[in-house]
Amino acid sequence: MSAEGGVQYSKIAEIKGPLVVVDDVSNAAFDELVEIETNEGERRLGKVLEVGNGKAIVQVFEGTTGLSISGTNAKFVGKVMEMPVSREVLGRVFDGLGRPKDGLPDPIADQFIDINGEPMNPEQREYPKDFIQTGVSVIDGMITLVRGQKLPIFSGSGMSHNLVAAQIARQASVIGKQDDFAVVFAAIGVQYSEAEYFRRSLEESGALKRSVLFLNTADDPAIERIITPRVALTVAEYLAFELGMHVLVILTDMTNYAEALREISAAREEVPGRKGYPGYLYTDLSTIYERAGKLNGKKGSVTQVPILSMPSDDITHPIPDLTGYITEGQVVLGRDLFRQGVYPPVNILMSLSRLMKDGIGEGSTRADHGEVSNQVYDAYSRAQEVRALAGIVGKAGLTEIDLKYMDVGDAFEKEFLSQATDENRTIEETLGILWKIVSKLPKNEITKIKDKYIDQYYKEQ
């Protein structure tokens, strides 16, 4: 931060959507922070998107409603947008641009960090392999999250992704180690009631003191949503790499972020890509998702759980599609399970954690974890086939073993998948339930688990 910059320009050539075109600009820089002052003296923030030919295109974060060409001034601040960070940000609630929303003063900054972050040197990256316990059985047991991973939740409109997000934020912990753990929660374009739910939920569970909340509500200007994940990740990186904490970043809902990106792209008259999203959507998303990871020689880590609601539950939609290319697996919420009242309605057959194999097993969870999880995957998959068959031939047409698989499917959904929103299961409890389900099968059907584990944990029913 410096005292340089601060030239105010009064020639506004055009106001178009969220963009303001300023004329006769001589010294602006790409991404420079701009303060727009209205006729009434109100100040709004923006950033430079393009400069050249004496013009600067400024994207106004708080929207251009009420701005007029005459009387509006644009002050180029001389620096990019920065987030003041220190340990004091823990327990605080900010708006989508990183301004305090809890009635308390600005945090006393230890550092001012560019919100765009610095790309992680691939050579410096450390392979993620340490287990994070979320207390949600289906995630811990079958789609395990590891420190430094980026594991998105693909949901649909109206489904319970926000409940899952809040539960993970409340319960997530690093087991068996005394390392500091923190949660950075960025709500992007969520309803006021949802934002309040997140805040209350963390406050009441006592988890707020290790959390930082960034709340951009649905009625906040859409353009602010471009900034929200970036300020959240800036804070997360500081906590992780400067203070050595293990930070879980939850970003919900990334679909709203992509919509805001589309809005700006349309206002800039860029050539649209699939479904009107800009052609650089993949690149842009990667600048957010790739900020997760662990660095050699640094104690902390940044783990990301971005949540996105798929329009029309369409997994081929550009947002989940491009997200899936960048992230390391996905947790997919299923509409059918949701309609049946199952919480969390995770469709495990479409879900996957690519880094799970390195984060489980002896020394991190339990030696039998991988095998029992694979066996349950297999059994649930078979149960789904049997259910489909029963829909055609009826239950009477099924064999005894088919009926056992149907029982396994039901038990999986009722006992393992279903969980109360305030139920925090340990990994031991989770594995116990998995074994209870496996034990519903005859021993000769268990093909993916070593005999020594069967002898130890299998309890014939």
Partner 1 sequence: MASDSALEGTIDKILGQTESNILSGLDSALSESKQSLDDSVITLEQEYDQIISNGKKEADKIEKQIIGSSDIESRNKKLTTVEESIDKVFTKAIEEISNADRSGDYSNLIKSLLDESTKILGTTEITVFTNSKDKDVVQSTLSQYPGAELSSETIDCLGGVKVKSKDGAMTFDNTIDAKIERLKPLIRKDIATQFGVGN
Distance in Å, CB of 425 to partner 1, minimum: 10
**Which C-beta is closer to partner 1: that of 3 or that of 388?**
3
User: How does DSSP classify residue 110?
Assistant: S
Residues 6+ apart with CB under 8 A from 209: 90, 91
Q: Which residues of 242-276 are buried (b: 16+ CB within 10 A; e: fewer)?
A: bbebbbbbbbbbbbbbbbbbbbbbebbeeeebeee
**Which C-beta is closer to partner 1: that of 38 or that of 205?**
205
Distances (CA, A) of 57 to 28, 53, 75, 96, 379: 10, 11, 13, 22, 57
Distance in Å, CB of 244 to partner 1, minimum: 15
Beta bridge partners of 214: 94, 186
Q: Does 105 bind partner 1 (CB under 8 A)?
A: yes
Q: How many residues bind partner 1 (CB under 8 A)?
A: 35
Of 14, 24, 196, 362, which one interacts with partner 1 (CB under 8 A)?
24
Of 14, 99, 108, 340, which one interacts with partner 1 (CB under 8 A)?
108
H/E element holding 323? helix 318-326
Distances (CA, A) of 148 to 224, 230, 330: 26, 17, 15
d(CA 127, CA 296): 9
Q: Does 98 bind partner 1 (CB under 8 A)?
A: no
Q: Is the Cα torsion angle 373, 375, 380, 384 positive or negative in sign?
A: positive
H/E element holding 84? strand 82-85
d(CA 244, CA 348): 33
**Which C-beta is closer to partner 1: that of 105 or that of 394?**
105
Go through the chain and tell me how many residues it has.
461
Residues 6+ apart with CB under 8 A from 323: 152, 154, 254, 285, 289, 306, 308, 330
**Which C-beta is closer to partner 1: that of 203 or that of 290?**
203
Q: Does 270 bind partner 1 (CB under 8 A)?
A: no
Q: Does 349 bind partner 1 (CB under 8 A)?
A: no
**Which C-beta is closer to partner 1: that of 147 or that of 199?**
199
Q: Is 306 exposed, middle or buried (0-12, 13-18, 19+ CB in 10 A)?
A: buried
End-to-end CA distance of the chain, in Å?
Answer: 67
Of 50, 110, 114, 445, which one interacts with partner 1 (CB under 8 A)?
110
**Which C-beta is closer to partner 1: that of 171 or that of 265?**
171
Check: CB of residue 216 under 8 Å from CB of residue 275: no
Distance in Å, CB of 323 to partner 1, minimum: 33
Residues 6+ apart with CB under 8 A from 379: 405, 408, 409, 412, 437, 438, 441, 445
Identify which range of 100-108, 180-188, 281-289, 403-411 contacts partner 1 by CB under 8 A: 100-108
* Range 352-411, binding partner 1 (CB under 8 A): none
Identify which range of 146-154, 187-195, 197-205, 264-272 contacts partner 1 by CB under 8 A: 197-205
Distance in Å, CB of 209 to partner 1, minimum: 5
Q: Does 421 bind partner 1 (CB under 8 A)?
A: no
**Which C-beta is closer to partner 1: that of 73 or that of 421?**
73
d(CA 403, CA 169): 38
Q: Which amino acid is at 248?
A: L
**Which C-beta is closer to partner 1: that of 41 or that of 206?**
206
Q: Does 104 bind partner 1 (CB under 8 A)?
A: yes
Distance in Å, CB of 61 to partner 1, minimum: 19
Identify which range of 105-113, 192-200, 380-388, 435-443 contacts partner 1 by CB under 8 A: 105-113
Distance in Å, CB of 108 to partner 1, minimum: 4
Q: Does 197 bind partner 1 (CB under 8 A)?
A: no
Question: Residue 186, Cα to own-chain centre: how many angstroms?
Answer: 8
**Which C-beta is closer to partner 1: that of 57 or that of 383?**
57
**Which C-beta is closer to partner 1: that of 290 or that of 423?**
423
d(CA 240, CA 181): 9
* Range 38-97, binding partner 1 (CB under 8 A): 73, 84, 86, 88, 91
Helices (H), 40-181: 137-142, 161-171
Identify which range of 19-27, 219-227, 334-342, 365-373 contacts partner 1 by CB under 8 A: 19-27
Q: Does 8 bind partner 1 (CB under 8 A)?
A: yes
Q: Does 203 bind partner 1 (CB under 8 A)?
A: yes
Of 26, 193, 283, 340, which one interacts with partner 1 (CB under 8 A)?
26
Footprint on this chain of partner 1 (rule: CB under 8 A):
1, 3-11, 23-24, 26-27, 73, 84, 86, 88, 91, 104-106, 108-110, 112, 203-209, 422, 424
